[in-house]
């Protein structure tokens, strides 16, 4: 009797741990809660829906045309893709504001926009 009750408790505990692990997975992969309490959906990030506007709003003012800052033009997909795939973009975007190499120089991208950028780059930085 005692043994039986104990094993029920143990399997309930195991089941609980499994649920916690499974739900944590969902939490990490599909929707991340940002500090502001807004859901950040990184499950279907695309260039046209998400990334293009982030770059236009936060980067293109300086990284545009023949006099682009740092010689880096981020005005079209092809240029953005090559900077993304060789690691340049995430390297600069992830740096803290206290680092003089941090981009954009006047304040970091939101957590959610950084996650979207990373998700898009991990999927090949496609023109999608
Ligand atoms: C206010 C102007 C300004 C904005 C906005 C800006 N940058 Fe920059 N960026 C610069 C300047 C100036 C440099 C050159 C100095 C340096 O390397 O830090 C630079 C350099 C870079 C470099 C290095 C280029 C290389 O070939 O070494 C990367 C990568 C970069 N920026 C990415 C970004 C991204 C991504 C954004 C948007 C999230 C952004 N920048 C927004 C001014 C800006």
Residues 46-69 have pLDDT tens digits of 999 999 999 999 999 999 999 999
One domain for residues 23 and 44: no
Q: What is the pLDDT of residues 87-113, one digit of tens each?
A: 999 999 999 999 999 999 999 999 999
Number of domains the chain is built from: 2
Residues 109 and 83 in one domain: yes
Cβ < 6 A, ligand 1 pocket: 58-59, 61-63, 69-72, 83, 88-89, 92-93, 101, 103-105, 109
What domain range includes position 70?
Answer: 39-122
Residues 81 and 99 in one domain: yes
Q: Do 53 and 75 belong to one domain?
A: yes
pTM above 0.85, yes or no: no
Q: Is residue 128 part of a domain?
A: no
In a domain, 91, yes or no: yes
Q: How far apart are CA 32 and CA 91, in angstroms?
A: 21
Q: Do 43 and 79 fall within a single domain?
A: yes
Rounded to the nearest whole angstrom, what is the distance from the C-alpha of residue 103 to the centroid of ligand 1?
6
């Amino acid at each position: 009797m005692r043994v039986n009750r104990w094993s029920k408790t143990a399997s309930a505990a195991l089941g609980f741990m499994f649920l916690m692990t499974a739900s944590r997975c969902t939490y990490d992969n599909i929707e991340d809660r940002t500090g502001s309490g807004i859901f950040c959906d990184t499950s279907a990030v695309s260039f046209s829906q998400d990334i293009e506007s982030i770059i236009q709003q936060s980067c293109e003012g300086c990284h545009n045309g023949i006099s682009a800052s740092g010689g880096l033009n981020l005005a079209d997909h092809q240029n953005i893709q090559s900077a993304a795939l060789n690691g340049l973009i995430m390297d600069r975007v992830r740096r803290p504001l206290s680092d003089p190499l941090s981009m954009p120089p006047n304040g970091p991208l939101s957590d959610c926009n950084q996650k979207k950028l990373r998700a898009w780059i991990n999927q090949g930085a496609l023109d999608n």
